[in-house]
A and B are shown apart, each in its own frame.
Chain A
C-alpha cells in the first residue's frame, strides 16, 4: 500500500514549457486534490475531483488543467509555465472528503526559470 505517489520530486522548467505532474493513489479514494504550497502562504487548492470523470476548480486554477480518467490517477498539467508557478505541489486524496482527513503525497518542487 503505497498511499499517494507523486512524480517527479523535482523539476526545473523554462518559461513557456509544459509539463504534467503525476499523482496516483492505491487506496481507492474517491476524492483527490492538488494544492500548491508557497512560503508563508500556506496551501492553496488548485483543482479537486470527487470521482472519476468529475473535476472542479479550487482557489487558484489559472494556468493549470487536470483530468480524472480513473479513480487512481489525477494528473496536473501546466501548459505554459510561468515564474509565478514556482512552488511545491502536493497531491492528496481522501475517502469521504473531510471527515477522515487527507493523505498527502511527498510533493513536487517545481522551479520555473
Chain B
C-alpha cells in the first residue's frame, strides 16, 4: 500500500524567506506525485504535479526516486502563500486511481 509522509505540521516563515515542504512516500512501483493547496475558506486545488515539471506561483517540486521524496520549494515566500499544503500520491496501476494524501503542512508566512 502507498503511504505519504509530511513530517512537519506547521511551518512558519518570514516573507521573502525560502520555504520547503517535505514529502516522502513509500510505494514499490512508479507513482504519480502531486501537491495540493487549500487557502483559507477555499476548496482544495491542484498546485502542481511532477509529470508536468512546471513551476506554479513560484513553487517547484522535484521527484527524487532514490530518496522517495517530492519536496515542495519556493525561494521567496509571499503572504498569499499562507495555506494548507498536501502532498498526494497515485499509483500507476490500471484501475487503481485513488490518491493517497499526506497529513498536510500548515504554512504561515509572517509579514
Contacts and interface: CB of A to CB of B under 8 A. Distances in A.
A78 interface: no
A80 interface: no
A107 interface: yes
Contacts of A50: 95, 97
A50 B86 CA distance: 23
Size class of the contact patch on chain B: 20 to 34
A74 interface: no
A102 B49 CA distance: 11
B97 A105 contact: no
A98 B101 contact: no
A105 B43 contact: yes
Interface of A: 31, 33, 35, 40-43, 45, 48, 50, 58, 90, 92, 94, 96-99, 101-107
Closest A-B pairs by Cβ, 6 of them? A97-B97, A98-B90, A42-B103, A101-B46, A104-B44, A43-B101
